[in-house]
Amino acid sequence: MNAKSKEFPVLMVTGGNRGIGRAVALAAAAARYRIAFTYRSDQQAAEKTVAAIESLGSEAIAVYADVARQDDVRAAFASAKERFGRLDALVNNAGIIGEPRSIIDVDEQHLDLVFRTNVFGAFYCVAEAVRQMSKQAGGEGGVIVNVSSAAARHGGMPQEAHYASSKGAIDSLTLSLAKELAPMGIRVNAIRPGLIDTAIHSIHGGDEAIRRMAPTVPLGRAGTAQEVADTVLFLLQDKSSYIHGALIDISGGR
């Protein structure tokens, strides 16, 4: 990109090497965002995502980070700032479902893994983003989109109370942040994807599980990562300038 690339906004996507995160990164790159994204596994997929972004004429940096670890998150945001010099938006996408488990089999290790990744990680990432974007800290404001889940309102799959509860926390976090961050020039919203055709459903049986569940969706099919990414991109842009503190379902009516 030429010298004018410095004028293009910078987006951080957590878990950007596959699934919804990758779709968001590519959609934003096509809209002339420069992309920083984190990944916790599959470095090859991360490298392919960087190449795909660059093929769109944008710039990208992939940074290893386990969002459950605050030091990793701080290092990832520092790397993005070093590369691009600014931050304009965050998509808090990284998350896990966790092993299905009955409530009577709950244990500290299981809950710790899910909540540290899905909830603590979101807190850590928002904190770093605000430090860079807040007008009070010398930033220019920005946008945060948290990736929740329709499971937050319907309870999710059987034996996945841990996952649904962690996403309920994301909904509450979004509503709280909308109040706290508005004076800092930062808009905050959340999306709640439903049955989306991505690899996260491998824990339920992959493609077969998606085919089995699709008839339970009023629209009669699973959604795509691209459909989710299109909504996220809308929320990142000025077209949605008066949407703030919203929880937006992308669930086909389910």
Give the residue numbers marked as catalytic. Answer: 163
Helix, strand, or coil (residue 139): coil
Is the Cβ–Cβ distance between 38 and 16 less than 8 Å?
yes
Burial of 74 (0-12, 13-18, 19+ CB in 10 A): middle
Helix, strand, or coil (residue 83): helix
Helix, strand, or coil (residue 190): strand
DSSP 246: -
Burial of 111 (0-12, 13-18, 19+ CB in 10 A): middle
Helix, strand, or coil (residue 223): strand
